[in-house]
Amino acid sequence: DDTWEYDPGTVARWTTHGSGCQGTSGVPSLRPVGASLPIVGTTFQLELLGIPGNAAAISFGFSDTQWNGGALPFDLGAFGMTGCTLHASPDFLFFAPVVANRATHAWTLPNAPSLTGVRFFKQGFVLHPGINPTGATVSNAGAGIIGPF
């Protein structure tokens, strides 16, 4: 007559937050490819959609509250990116090839249990000449937690 409860611990997940800014192909959108999740020992794949040209990058960071001594989210209008907001710290930047208005980024996660529970944040950047003084737009952002499953 015992009652047992199973707690799986940390489960891999990805959620989007914030919004991108308007480009000629709409607002760039960052999302997982299919049902991809950040699971140790696998490859987590993201795609950036709505790219009008041939240049894009996806940032990787460890915070959605601060970057470079400043608070996030941050209005990028000060840098000529009118209507755009930085939602995730761009601690690392990965350039992604663009094919048919879509860029993908594959992140191979080592099979290291010590990564379980690590939080990370990503956001897309799109080179978009003429759309604003900087010639770039950004996508929504996303937050992930690395899990064992």
pLDDT average per 10 residues of sequence, the chain (149 residues): 78 96 94 97 97 93 96 96 97 94 96 95 95 96 96
Q: Determine the residue type at 148.
A: P
Alpha-carbon torsion 104, 110, 113, 119, what sign?
A: negative
> Closest Cα partner for 94 from 84, 107, 83?
107
The answer to whether the CB of 127 falls within 8 A of the CB of 1 is no
What pLDDT does 83 receive?
95
Distance CA 71, CA 59 (A): 17
Stated length of the chain: 149
Contact 97, 103 (CB under 8 A): yes
C-beta of residue 23 within 8 angstroms of C-beta of residue 131: yes
